[in-house]
A and B are shown apart, each in its own frame.
Chain A
Amino acid sequence: MHPILKLVVQRIALGLLLLLAVSAVIFLGVEALPGDTAQAILGQSATPQALENLREKLGLNDPPLTRYFAWLGGVLTGDLGTSLTNGVDIAQAIGQRLGNTLFLAGCAAVIAVPLAILLGLIAARHAGRWPDKLISGITLTTISLPEFVAAYFVIFLFTQLIPIFQPVAMVFPGMSFWAKLHAVALPVIVLVLVVLAHMMRMTRAAILNVMQSAYIETAELKGLSPMTVIWRHAFPNAIAPVVSVVMLNLAYLVVGVVVVEVVFGYNALGQYLVDHVTKRDLPVVQAVGLIFAAVYIFLNMLADIIGILANPRLRHPK
C-alpha cells in the first residue's frame, strides 16, 4: 500500500475510534455525574414508588454498560430513542432540524471562507502596514464578542437603525429558496462576523509563515514577479495550512450555530438541544450532542487528511 494511503486510513480509523470514545463519554460520563433522570422528570415531590416505576420503565435499573451498548446499537441503526418529555421519536424530530442547521451553517461558510482567505491574503501581503493593522484591530474586536452579543448588535443595527430585516428567522418546509435566504440573512451575518476573525487571523499566520521561507527568497532572486512568486511557490505550500485553518473554523462554526439559533428563534438543531437541556431531557441531549460531536470530529479529520495529501514529502516518498 502507498504510504500516504496508509496514513489516511490510519487517520480515518483514529477518527472513528475517537467518535466511539466520545459516544461513551456522552453516555457513560453523564451517568457518572450526580443527578437522577427519574427525579428530573418527575420533580422533587415524586413518591419513591413512582420513581421506582419510572426507573423500571426506562430500563434505568440495568447496568450502565448494557444500556450503553443498547443505545449505541440504536444509534447505528438510526434509532435514537424517544424524548422523555413528549415521547416523540428523536430521529424524526432531528431530521428536518438538522437540514435547517446545515443550511444556516452552509450559507455562513460560503460567505466567510472566501472572505477570510481574501482578507488574510491582504493582511499578509501588507504585514505590519496599515491595511494589516486595520484588519487585525477589527478582528481582535470581533474575536472578543460572544455570538449572542454580536447578534444583538447586528439586530439593533438592521432592525432599528436601518430597518431592513426581521429580528426572527423563521423557515418552514415549502418555503422558496430565496425566501429562506432572506429569512436567514441576519443569523448568517452574525455567524460570518464571529467565524471570520479566527479564520482570517489563522490564514494570515499560515501565509506569512510560508512567505518567510528561504525558497520564497530564492524565487524572488530569480527575478520572478510577485504574482508568480505567490502563485507558483507560496500557494502550493500554503494550501495545506490554509485548508486546515478553514476546516477547524468550520468546526467552530458548528458550535456558534447553537447560540445564534436561540437568538433568532431559528427552528433547528441548536435550539432543539438548548430547549431539552433546560427540560433535562437526557436522551435528546445525548443524541444531539453526539451529532454535533460527529460533525466536529469529521471536519477535524478532513483537515488532517488534506494536510497529509498536500505534503510533498508524504506524496513522493524517498
Chain B
Amino acid sequence: MAEPLLQIRGLVIEATSYPPGEPPREVTLVHGVDLTLERGRVLGLIGESGAGKSTIGLSAMAYGRGGVRLTGGTIHLNGREIRLADARTLRALRGREVTYVSQSAAASFNPARQIMEQVIETCLNHGLCGKAEAEARAVGLFRKLGLPNPETIGLRYPHQVSGGQLQRCMTAMALCPKPDLVIFDEPTTALDVTTQIDVLAAIKEAIRDTGVAALYITHDLAVVAQVADEIMVLRHGRMVELGETGQIIHAPREDYTRALVSVRGLEHEEKPPAPPVLQVQNLTARYRGTNFDVLKNVSVELPAGQTLAVVGESGSGKSTLARAITGLLPPSQGRITFAGRQLSADLAGRTKDDLREIQMIYQMADTAMNPRQTVGTIIGRPLEFYFGLRGAERDRRVQELLDQIEMGKGFAQRYPAELSGGQKQRVCIARALAAKPRLIICDEVTSALDPLVADGILKLLLALQAEAGVAYLFITHDLATVKAISDKIAVMFKGAVVRYGQKSDVLTPPFDDYTDLLLSSVPEMEQGWLEQVIAHRKMESAGN
C-alpha cells in the first residue's frame, strides 16, 4: 500500500496562556489526535470554538500560530517526519507541498501589492515555473473560480475587489503552485449566505478538477457535508468521531455528533394572527452626513407575544430598523406605534415607560455588559431604575431572574469575564426581562455563539415568551434560526422589505427572486445539495 499523503499520530499541541493578573500557565490545546489523509481526498475537520480544529489544520504545515507549540507525536507528510524538521526544510515544503486558505482573505492579502504578484509569488519563489507560465496558471484559476475579468483582476489591489472575490483569489493563490494538500480554514464563514454558495461551489470544483487533497475546517456541518469525503468531529482538542460524510450526517455514533447534526432541527409552531403591539409604518431613514436611505419605506407589524423575524444579509438595513425603533436613529419619515401610542422619533422624547417596555439584546454579549460591574449590578440596575427596588428586595428579584435564565446561585457576585459565552448572553436576557418589557429587540443574539449554545439560547427565549408573553423583534441573517423562532417574517434587501407575512406564507412558493436566492442558498445537511442547487440555477438562467 502506498504512503498516505499526511499521517498524524498522537499529536499534542500546547500553548502558554496569559490570564490577566495571574502568572502565565501552560495549556494543552490538542491531546493526542490521529489523522490520516490519502492523496486526492478531502477530510473535513469540524467542531465548536476551542475544539482545536485550526490548530490541527496548521500542524500539517508544522506551523504553530502565535506561540502555539507542537510538543508531541509525529506528523508525516509525503513520507517524512516534519514536526521536528528544521526551518529550511519547512520553508521548502510550505507553499510547495501544502498551502493555506484563511477565513479572512481581506487580512491575508498584503494591502501594498497587486493580487497577481501575491498569487504567483510561491511559484516564483520555489522556482516551480517561470513568470509567464505562473501568470497563465493564475489566470486559468481565476477563470475556473468564476472571477470576473480573469485576465485583468490580478492587476488590482486587494482593497479593490469584494470579499467573496478576494476569498476566491486566495484559493487561486493556494492552488497556483499545484500543491499536494490545501488547508481551507473556514473559507466561507465570513461571507454572506448568497456569496458563500458561489465560493463554496468554486472551491469544490477546483478541488475536483485539480485532484488536490484538502483539509476543510469549519464549524458548519452542512457546509462541510458538501465538500468532504470524510469528516472528523473534534471537541476540546480530542477526536469525538471519524467517518464517511454520509455516515456522520445520517448515522452518527456519538451523542455529541448527534447533537451537532440535530441542532438545526428546532421547529416552532406559528401562532395565529393577532392584534399588533408594534406597528411600523412607512419608515425611511438615513445616517447623518450620508445621502442615501438605509431604510426605504418599511412597514411591518408585530403581534403581542409573538416573534417577527427580520432577515437579510449584511447591508440590508435590518439592524438599522432596530436602531430606528429604539429611537437611536430618528427616521426622516414614517411613524412607529407601540401599544397604541405613537412613539417619539427621538430617544430624548420618549417616556420612561416607553423605554422600559422596549428592551434590547445585542449580538456581542461581551461588549453589551460593563466589564466592571457584577452580574448582580447589571441585572439589578433596571429593577432599581424602573421600579425603585433596593437592598434585599432587589437581590431576591435578581436571583429570581437568574433562576429564570437557568443560572443558579452565586452568579450575582461574578463579573462578566468569569462567564462563558452562553452565560453572558443569558445575563443580557435577564437584564432585558428585569424591565418587564412588552417587546425585546434581539439583534443577531445567537450569531456569535456555537451552534449548541445558540440552540439553548433560542429554547430559553421561546420558553420565556410563553411564560411572560413578551414579543420579539428578531434580527438575524440565519434562516435556520428564523424557522426555529418566528411567527412572522420580513425579508429585507437593500433597505426595503421585499417579502413579509406569516412564516408559513413567506416560506411557501412562489417566491420573489431575492427570497428564492436567499432560501436556496442556505446549506442543507445533505450530500449533493450543492450540485443540485447549482445545476438548478444554471438551468433557470439558461431558460431565461
Contact = CB atoms under 8 A, between A and B. Distances in A.
Interface string A227-238: 010001100110
A223 B100 CA distance: 11
Contact of A217 (B65, B111, B159): B65
Contacts of A316: 156-157, 159-160
A228 B125 contact: yes
Contact of A218 (B91, B93, B109): B109
Contacts of B52: none
A219 B110 contact: yes
A224 B177 CA distance: 13
Interface string A207-243: 0000001110111111111001000110011000000
Interface of B: 61, 63, 65, 90-96, 99-100, 102, 104, 107-113, 121-122, 125-126, 156-157, 159-160
Contacts of B159: 312-313, 316, 318
A217 B94 CA distance: 12
B163 to A, nearest CB: 13
B111 A312 contact: yes
A222 B95 contact: yes
Contact of B126 (A219, A220, A223): A223
A217 B58 CA distance: 11
Given A213-B107, A217-B65, 18 more contacts: A214-B102, A215-B110, A215-B111, A217-B108, A218-B100, A218-B108, A220-B94, A221-B94, A221-B100, A223-B91, A223-B95, A223-B122, A224-B121, A233-B110, A236-B112, A236-B113, A237-B111, A312-B159
Contact of A223 (B90, B104, B156, B157): B90
Contacts of A233: 110, 113
Contacts of A224: 91, 95, 121, 125
Q: Which 5 pairs, one residue from A and one from B, show the smallest C-beta to C-beta distance?
A: A223-B94, A223-B95, A214-B107, A236-B112, A222-B95
B112 A223 contact: no
Given A221-B99, A223-B91, A223-B94, A215 B108 contact: yes
B197 to A, nearest CB: 25
16 contacts: A214-B102, A214-B108, A215-B107, A215-B109, A215-B111, A217-B65, A219-B110, A221-B63, A221-B94, A223-B93, A223-B94, A223-B126, A228-B125, A237-B111, A312-B159, A316-B156
Residue among A214, A215, A217, A318 facing the most chain B CB atoms (10 A cut-off) = A215
Contacts of B61: 221
Given A214-B107, A222-B95, A225-B91, A312 B112 contact: yes
B109 A312 contact: no
Contacts of B109: 215, 218
A222 B122 contact: yes
Contact of B104 (A214, A219, A237, A313): A214
Contacts of A236: 110, 112-113
B2 to A, nearest CB: 25
A239 to B, nearest CB: 9
Contacts of A225: 91
Nearest to A233: B110
B410 to A, nearest CB: 38
B177 to A, nearest CB: 9
B246 to A, nearest CB: 32
Nearest to A225: B91
Residue among A214, A221, A236 facing the most chain B CB atoms (10 A cut-off) = A221
A219 B111 CA distance: 13
A189 B329 CA distance: 58
A159 B381 CA distance: 69
A223 B92 CA distance: 6
A12 B413 CA distance: 56
Interface in A285-318: 312-313, 316, 318
A82 to B, nearest CB: 51
Contacts of A214: 102, 104, 107-108
B337 to A, nearest CB: 42
Contacts of B156: 316
Nearest to A226: B87
A237 B112 contact: yes
Contacts of A222: 94-95, 99, 121-122, 125
Contacts of A228: 125
Contacts of A237: 110-112
Contacts of A217: 65, 102, 108
Nearest to A318: B160
A166 B91 CA distance: 55
B56 to A, nearest CB: 15
Nearest to A128: B67
A312 B158 CA distance: 9
A316 B114 CA distance: 10
Nearest to B63: A221
Contacts of B90: 223
A233 B122 CA distance: 13
A224 B95 CA distance: 8
Residue among B65, B95, B109, B156 facing the most chain A CB atoms (10 A cut-off) = B95
A215 B110 CA distance: 5
A190 B384 CA distance: 61
Nearest to B100: A221
Contacts of A221: 61, 63, 94-95, 99-100
Nearest to B88: A225
Residue among B112, B121, B157 facing the most chain A CB atoms (10 A cut-off) = B112
Interface string A165-186: 0000000000000000000000
A238 to B, nearest CB: 10
B215 to A, nearest CB: 14
A220 B124 CA distance: 15
B497 to A, nearest CB: 29
Contacts of B122: 222-223
Residue among A217, A236, A237 facing the most chain B CB atoms (10 A cut-off) = A217
A19 to B, nearest CB: 29
A223 B96 contact: yes
A222 to B, nearest CB: 4
B16 to A, nearest CB: 12
A88 B58 CA distance: 74
Interface string A243-283: 00000000000000000000000000000000000000000
A297 B61 CA distance: 50
B125 A223 contact: yes
Nearest to B103: A214
Residue among B91, B92, B156 facing the most chain A CB atoms (10 A cut-off) = B91
Interface in A134-189: none
A313 B161 CA distance: 12
B367 to A, nearest CB: 22
A232 B112 CA distance: 10
Given A221-B61, A222-B94, A313 B111 contact: yes
Contacts of A223: 90-96, 122, 125-126
Interface in A78-109: none
B139 to A, nearest CB: 19
Contacts of B100: 218, 221
A225 B125 CA distance: 9
Contacts of B111: 215, 237, 312-313
A218 B121 CA distance: 11
Nearest to B160: A318
A233 B107 CA distance: 13
A221 B159 CA distance: 22
B114 to A, nearest CB: 9
